[in-house]
């Protein structure tokens, strides 16, 4: 499953050949490690026009990690505050601010553009702010060298601290070309930013292996007590994962009609983070797809998510301040031949998230978001035929597949106690896949 092309492209002959032949040139991504938790370099804070965010932004940025000292030569992170841009003239300032520095941004560096929410009452301002989206996505596609570009729409920088910390760190290595909206809910900073989930319980479905295992591991690193749920057939693996993480295993088929009640019974102390990760594929083109291949995919990937979410909210098992993170997919955004069942189920997740998010927050104090993975190196994708697998890996701005940990880090950001103002978002972890872009 190792990406040999990625290793080859990093050698001297590989660099020569890929340049000469115009082949994809993936750069090794800088991911988080305890030894190197921050980007290698400083942060450059730029503003286009008058800031719409005021003096709150600078101290928040100062706390995000990369220092601001000496950042001008070779910044590892650039934050462009474009929230005050109201018209086409303002967009010229976006160009003027980034044009001179873009070449100097370090490999695996970050550019984060800050915008304002779209204003339906002012179409000039809305045009300029929407323009930032096309700008961000285009820059993401051309910047290369493992660098990412994302847009955050916000009105209150302090509500976006967890988001900025995530985007300006190695944890967001495979998140690029995304537009994230952050509301203005009041946010309480955790006592310890390194263990924000301390004292909290997180349940991850389908956590015996693959992405779910990585999510459980990352949430445990963040301090959570993890519950590793998987089908009874995978009980041994689930126990192994739980033991390693100091958590507990819960063998349960999530499609069981009483799954919600059984989770509630298993967690008398309640639940803070619910990650719906379990998922299956049963690919076949529609003309060849019997109901037996359609049903289980919709049942595992969507119906059980709806049922358990409803049950755990109604029972009060999910506590106030709780977080739900569901798993969509780029297949639900772009569609995929042979995946009408899977694409339907994953698009359904997006519908669930958008509709439930405002209500769950108002009625239960719980946020609802989703991650939408692109091509992630797992057993699921190892089973894909070679040529399709190679295409899936390369057809994104970073020219490589993501790792389970990339989805896990994104989930941990959404599950963060300080992410109370991030709600109703579907965030793609896809290296800016060309599919559904």
> What would the two tokens of residue 252 be?
């349960």
* Cα distance between residue 366 and residue 19, in whole Å: 49
**Looking at 5, 174, 294, 342, which residue is catalytic?**
342
Burial (CB < 10 A; 0-12, 13-18, 19+), residue 319, is middle
Which helix (H) or strand (E) segment is 43 a member of?
strand 43-47
Q: Which is nearer to ligand NAD, 348 or 373 (CB)?
A: 373
> What would the two tokens of residue 190 be?
């955790």
Other Cβ atoms within 10 Å of 325 Cβ, number: 28
Q: Which is nearer to ligand NAD, 90 or 401 (CB)?
A: 401
Summarize as ranges the residues that interact with ligand NAD (CB under 6 A).
Answer: 205-206, 208-212, 230-231, 234, 253-255, 277-280, 300, 327, 329, 373, 375-376, 378-381
Q: Which is nearer to ligand NAD, 196 or 212 (CB)?
A: 212
Q: Which residues pair with 229 in a beta bridge?
A: 205, 250
What is the smallest separation between the CB atom of 264 and ligand NAD, expressed in angstroms?
16
Q: Which is nearer to ligand NAD, 94 or 398 (CB)?
A: 398
- Which stretches does DSSP call E strand in 99-231? 110-115, 148-153, 179-181, 201-205, 225-230
Can 342 be counted among the known catalytic residues? yes
* Cα distance between residue 435 and residue 437, in whole Å: 5
- Give whole-number Cα distances, 349 to 110, 150, 287, 303, 365, in Å: 29, 23, 24, 10, 20
What is the smallest separation between the CB atom of 304 and ligand NAD, expressed in angstroms?
7
Least Cα distance to 254 among 307, 201, 196 occurs for 307
What is the smallest separation between the CB atom of 203 and ligand NAD, expressed in angstroms?
11
What is the smallest separation between the CB atom of 122 and ligand NAD, expressed in angstroms?
38
Q: Which is nearer to ligand NAD, 361 or 376 (CB)?
A: 376
Q: Which is nearer to ligand NAD, 176 or 381 (CB)?
A: 381
Least Cα distance to 322 among 419, 225, 254 occurs for 419
What is the smallest separation between the CB atom of 1 and ligand NAD, expressed in angstroms?
11
What is the smallest separation between the CB atom of 309 and ligand NAD, expressed in angstroms?
15
- Known catalytic residues are 342
């Amino acid at each position: 499953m190792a990406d040999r092309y990625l290793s080859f492209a990093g050698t001297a002959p590989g660099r020569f050949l890929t340049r000469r032949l115009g082949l994809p040139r993936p750069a090794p991504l800088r991911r988080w490690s305890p030894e190197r938790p921050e980007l290698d370099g400083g942060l450059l804070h730029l503003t286009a026009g008058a800031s719409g965010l005021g003096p709150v932004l600078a101290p928040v940025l100062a706390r995000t990690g990369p220092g601001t000292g000496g950042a001008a030569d070779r910044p590892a992170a650039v934050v462009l505050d474009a929230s005050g841009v109201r018209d086409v003239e303002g967009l010229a300032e976006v160009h003027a601010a980034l044009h001179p520095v873009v070449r100097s941004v370090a490999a695996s560096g970050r550019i984060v553009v800050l915008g304002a929410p779209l204003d339906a009452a002012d179409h000039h301002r809305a045009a300029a702010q929407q323009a930032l989206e096309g700008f961000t996505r285009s820059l993401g596609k051309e910047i290369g060298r493992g660098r990412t570009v994302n847009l955050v729409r916000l009105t209150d920088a302090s509500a976006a601290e967890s988001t900025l910390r995530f985007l300006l760190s190695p944890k967001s290595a495979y998140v690029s070309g995304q537009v994230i909206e952050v509301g203005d809910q009041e946010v309480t900073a955790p006592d310890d930013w390194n263990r924000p989930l301390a004292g909290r319980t997180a349940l991850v479905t389908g956590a015996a292996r693959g992405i779910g295992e990585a999510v459980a591991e990352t949430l445990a690193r963040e301090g959570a007590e993890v519950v590793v749920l998987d089908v009874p057939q995978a009980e041994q693996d689930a126990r192994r994962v739980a033991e390693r993480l100091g958590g507990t295993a819960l063998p349960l088929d999530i499609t069981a009609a009483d799954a919600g009640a059984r989770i509630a019974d298993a967690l008398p102390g309640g639940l803070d983070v619910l990650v719906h990760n379990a998922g299956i594929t049963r690919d076949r083109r529609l003309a060849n797809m019997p109901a037996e291949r359609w049903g289980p995919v919709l049942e595992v990937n969507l119906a059980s998510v709806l049922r358990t979410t409803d049950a755990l909210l109604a029972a009060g098992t999910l506590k106030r301040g709780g977080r739900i993170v569901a798993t969509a997919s780029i297949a639900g955004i772009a569609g995929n031949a042979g995946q009408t069942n899977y694409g339907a189920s994953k698009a359904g997740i997006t519908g669930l998230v958008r509709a439930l998010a405002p209500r769950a927050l108002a009625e239960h104090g719980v946020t609802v978001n989703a991650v939408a993975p692109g091509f992630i190196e797992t057993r699921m994708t190892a089973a894909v035929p070679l040529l399709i697998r190679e295409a899936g890996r390369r057809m994104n701005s970073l020219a490589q597949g993501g790792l389970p940990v990339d989805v896990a880090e994104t989930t941990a950001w959404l599950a963060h106690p300080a992410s109370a103002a991030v709600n109703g978002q579907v965030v793609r972890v896809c290296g800016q896949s060309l599919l559904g872009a």
